[in-house]
Amino acid sequence: MSRVYNFSAGPSTLPLPVLERAAAEMLDCNGSGQSVMEMSHRSKDFEKIICGTEALFRELLAIPDNYKVLFLQGGASSQFAMIPLNFMNKNGKADYVVTGQWAKKSYQEGARYGNARVVASSEDKTFSYIPELTADMFDPEADYVHVCWNNTIYGTHYSKIPPVGNIPLIADMSSSILSEKVDVAKYGMIYAGAQKNMAPAGLTVCIIREDMIGNARDITPNMFNYKTHADANSLFNTPPAYCIYILGLVLDWLKNEVGGIEKMHEINVKKAGILYDFLDGSSMFKSTVKGDDRSLMNIPFVTGDGELDKKFVAEATANGFVNIKGHRSVGGMRASIYNAMPVEGVQKLVDFMSEFEKNN
């Protein structure tokens, strides 16, 4: 067997021990004589899986008791509509910080349902930074403030929580969830698609403060109402059962093999440091993001020469460093180094980049 180093932004690499365990349990999970894919979602066997996954998720992120954890489908993109449908319900206004394509899509969807306002944007410089945010910028009448915590395409990440006062803060953490500690109590809601740092595509996890649930607009489809899923403990209809099972294995790995979120964060700082240090010292490769706004998960970089970028991507791919081509809106390369990317994968990439620099 030969496995590549996969730098894909999503779906992305999963921890090898998780894949091995899933393979071992494929035909007979926990003595049930069936694969999780074949199980009734109403069975005792699956109840153990979904409850165990939720308990581990709560434990690892230290989620307070007054927050619901929901396992939904429809991707993070469905949240862009569910959020205004459920929460733009008092003054019909919401504030959005636009720091990338996902943040912009979320804003555009919000604008279809009410008075959505762009508080600040970094589009002027290809979203290469997080705008400075001050308390006076937010509308105290906004029903919520929406931010994208880690900008997957542009490689930026907030270094502090925006000063939103009492307005509920909603964060898309699709590409940073479980990579760092989060003070959940500072948020009204956090959500994340699973396919970046948690599990296969098909699952979206939402963490919502309980008092925010239950005031959806009348037109809200049942399936888009958080109350529907909160009341049914994510079993209103068939949940993405296999994804929830894999998330459980990933969380178990994170807790018992890695040693928890803080340890994971330390490793992520180390991994990103290896790549940023190299980029800052290189005369060929340059990081597209500066200082405090740098993401630990997604690291775009360029040579400044489109042909050289192409050559690098081709040679990297041939050497087993795959999915490293940058997003078309930034160009160049992007290394997504989520939790499951081992330190050695980043070290080997940097060795390869250094070799490439010498030869070109």
Ligand X SMILES: *Cc1c(COP(=O)(O)O)cnc(C)c1O
The reply to whether 75 sits near ligand X by the rule CB under 6 A is yes
The reply to whether 323 sits near ligand X by the rule CB under 6 A is no
Of the candidate residues 97, 148, 189, 346, the single one contacting ligand X (CB under 6 A) = 148
The SS3 call for residue 221 is: coil
Q: Is 218 a known active-site residue?
A: no
153 φ, ψ (degrees, to nearest 5): -80, -35
Distance, CA of 196 to CA of 149 (rounded, Å): 14
The reply to whether 155 sits near ligand X by the rule CB under 6 A is no
Question: In the stretch 159-198, what mask flags binding to ligand X with x, by CB under 6 A?
Answer: -------------x-xx-----------------x--x--
Which one from 95, 149, 196, 293 is the annotated catalytic residue? 196
Of the candidate residues 6, 7, 10, 170, the single one contacting ligand X (CB under 6 A) = 10
The reply to whether 200 sits near ligand X by the rule CB under 6 A is no
The reply to whether 326 sits near ligand X by the rule CB under 6 A is no
The reply to whether 297 sits near ligand X by the rule CB under 6 A is no
- Closest to ligand X by CB, 149 vs 356, is 149
69 φ, ψ (degrees, to nearest 5): -110, 120
Number of CB atoms found within 10 A of residue 27's CB:
10
Do the Cβ atoms of 212 and 87 come closer than 8 Å?
A: yes
The reply to whether 300 sits near ligand X by the rule CB under 6 A is no
**Closest distance between ligand X and the C-beta of residue 48, in Å?**
27
Query: Which amino acid is located at 216 in the chain?
Result: A
Distance, CA of 24 to CA of 90 (rounded, Å): 50
Q: Is 172 a known active-site residue?
A: yes
Reading across the β-sheet that carries 298-302, which strands appear in turn? 286-287, 298-302, 333-336
Which residues contact residue 104 at a Cβ distance below 8 angstroms, ignoring those fewer than 6 apart? 98, 123
The SS3 call for residue 178 is: coil
**Closest distance between ligand X and the C-beta of residue 232, in Å?**
22
Which residues are part of the catalytic machinery?
102, 172, 196
Residues that bind ligand X (CB under 6 A): 10, 75-77, 102, 148, 152, 172, 174-175, 193, 196
